[in-house]
Amino acid sequence: MPAKKRILITSALPYVAGVKHLGNLVGSMLPADIFARFCRARGHETVAICATDEHGAPIELAALEEGIGPREFCDKWHAVQKKLGDDFGLAWDNFGRSSSPANHELTLHFARQLWKNGFLELKTTKQAYSPTDGRFLPDRYVIGTCPHCGYERARGDQCENCTRVLDPVDLIHPRSAVSGAQDVEIRDSTHLFLKQSQFAGKLRNWIESHKQDWSPVVTSIAFKWLDEGLRDRGITRDLEWGIPVPDDIADGALKGKVFYVWFDAPIEYIAATKEWADRNGKDYRDWWQGPASSSEAVGQTKKDVTYWEFMGKDNVPFHTVGFPVTIMGSGEPWKLVDRLKGFNWLNYDGGKFSTSGKRGIFMDKALEIAPADVWRYYLIANAPESSDSNFTWEHFAGVVNKDLADVLGNFVLRVTKFCVARFDGKLPGEGVYGDEEKALIAELDRRIKTYTDYLEAADFRKAMGELRAIWVAGNEYLTRAAPWTHIKTDRDRAAIGVRMGLNLVHVFAHLTWPVMPELAKTIHLAIQPVGYANGVVPWVDDDTAAALDSLIPGQPITPPEVLVTKITDEQVEELKARFGGAA
């Protein structure tokens, strides 16, 4: 086993409003959880953090529409997301909320540091305002006729019809998307701007240093922002719901305004870690802060911590520019991300998953169709790592039926059932492993090493390909060992095949646990009715030979029920019809 390390893992925060779709899941929360489970299985001291992102105009407006307060609105949806996360086996050490007291406190801390250090300045901007609504309107909440193509429902930031970038003042007959009021006017509004441009050099050096361990999609997005020239960014908004700007910043000039959601959301990673640490008698600074008062120590921590972030590519700019500037500008030794794992998009049947268009599959509906573990395996085995990937029901059914039902599920059943039929349901101890077994051990030794390396690098598609190859190796072995033939003439030889088969099942359960925790548990219980501490199934030791001869002869074997139910062609047709969406 490797030396124990501290691993800090954060998943991009799901926006609190609404149920997330599978594209959101596979791009951040699921890989973060699989990676966290893998790290825990290897014995690393691991903290996995996620939270709901609870600020921003959409929440304030959605709450208004429902006739409830934003706090109440967030309470409701946070509970929904927490439940769905639990149902999908997302085992966070803390699933926090960006509206928490801890995040208010830390966000103000960072803002004050930035203000004190001169990295914030006041600027007056022109902003659409609706007297009827009594509020400023973000650009996309102003709707009107596109001056280029005449489309009547063009948004103030971009026309969906001709894709041109717009400014709200460009629109003909502008009106509020909130109320439809046509009295939209332009007013001055003063805001705090973060001087990102001053950090361009530092950021570039930092990102350069990660060219080898971040994927091209991440570095290319980061460099694109730098190459275009970093602009200072407004970090406050004219909203009521959010973290209020305190009077001691800018002498109260920003009374009644709140921090921009993207300013406070990443800080919630730290705040949620603090909540976890406080509850567990630990110090969050061991995970996030370096030696006190050393500006050279940015990026370092007191302990040896490796910090991993998981996110979809839309989040990359905020994690390679915005949040790092907040940290650097604080002048304090906070931890910067070490490994930034970005994902492309999962498409649905050739088009986009769309929350607003209700197109695609959402977390709650997915669980009505197949168990969480089935989705976990399918999604991560086909994760959009190097480019966008495409979901189709045929593909889903093919992978579930072949990989999970046939290759893995059937293997567990054929071995355990044969043991019951011919060896009285007790693990047979007769015979000694021979050449066939030694060859298998050598192959698995190599494959487990490869699988481990891929997971350590968070290279998920390749890891799942290797895991599948490990399952296949089990079937290949069993065909060669053919205990069903030898049982007729050589009981000891048949016993060897069954014993190895059962040990394989046992090892499969361990290797599968980070990806499919519930299924792994079921498989494990079929042959080894002993649980593990804290629900963590440990990784397989480097000694593969020992791992494949670890079960005690005589112990009872109980074949499980069918592990993975197949998806029929008829069901595929039904699902296509049901989830087709407006193409």
Partner RNA sequence: GGCACCGUAGCUCAGUGGUAGAGCAGGAGAAUCAUAAUCUCUUGGUCGGCGGUUCAAAUCCGUCCGGUGCUACCA
Residues 313-332 that bind RNA (CB under 7 A): 313-315, 317, 321
Phi, psi of 342 (to 5 degrees): -105, 145
Window 369 to 408, contacts with RNA (CB under 7 A) = 382, 384-390, 392, 394-395, 398, 402, 404-407
75 or 286: CB nearest RNA = 75
Identified binder of RNA from the candidate list 345, 348, 396, 579, rule CB under 7 A? 345
Establish if 213 lies at the interface with RNA (CB under 7 A).
no
Interface with RNA (CB under 7 A), residue total 88
Rounded to whole angstroms, the Cα distance separating 194 from 189 reads 16
Identified binder of RNA from the candidate list 42, 135, 191, 274, rule CB under 7 A? 191
Establish if 443 lies at the interface with RNA (CB under 7 A).
no
Q: How far is the CB of 313 from RNA (least distance, A)?
A: 6
Strand partners, 311: 342
Identified binder of RNA from the candidate list 8, 44, 46, 53, rule CB under 7 A? 53
287 or 423: CB nearest RNA = 423
Q: How far is the CB of 345 from RNA (least distance, A)?
A: 6
Site string for RNA, 135-154 (x = CB under 7 A): -x-xxx--------------
* 280 Cβ contact partners less than 8 Å away, ≥ 6 residues apart: none
Please choose, out of 502-510, 525-533, 561-569, 573-581, the segment that lies near RNA by the rule CB under 7 A. Answer: 561-569
Note the Cα 58 to chain centre separation in Å.
22
Q: How far is the CB of 467 from RNA (least distance, A)?
A: 12
Window 402 to 441, contacts with RNA (CB under 7 A) = 402, 404-407, 409-410, 413-415, 417-418, 421
Q: What is the gyration radius of the CA atoms in the chain, in angstroms?
A: 27
Cα angle value 91/345/379 (rounded, 5°): 45
Q: How far is the CB of 264 from RNA (least distance, A)?
A: 10
| Both tokens assigned to 312 | 């979809």
Question: CB–CB of 117/163 below 8 Å?
Answer: no
39 or 523: CB nearest RNA = 523
CA nearest to 107, candidates 317, 262, 230, 320: 262
Please choose, out of 80-88, 225-233, 333-341, 510-518, the segment that lies near RNA by the rule CB under 7 A. Answer: 225-233
Identified binder of RNA from the candidate list 18, 234, 246, 581, rule CB under 7 A? 234
CA nearest to 333, candidates 371, 381, 369, 289: 289
Q: Could you please report the per-residue DSSP string of 189-238?
A: EEEEEE-GGGGHHHHHHHHHTTTTTS-HHHHHHHHHHHHT-PPPEE-EES
Window 445 to 464, contacts with RNA (CB under 7 A) = 461-462
Rounded to whole angstroms, the Cα distance separating 435 from 430 reads 16
Site string for RNA, 295-314 (x = CB under 7 A): ------------------xx
Work out the burial of residue 399: count CB atoms within 10 Å of its CB; fewer than 13 is exposed, 13-18 middle, 19 or more buried: buried
Window 469 to 498, contacts with RNA (CB under 7 A) = 472, 475-476, 478-479, 482, 484-485
Q: Would you call 537 helix, strand, or coil by DSSP?
A: coil
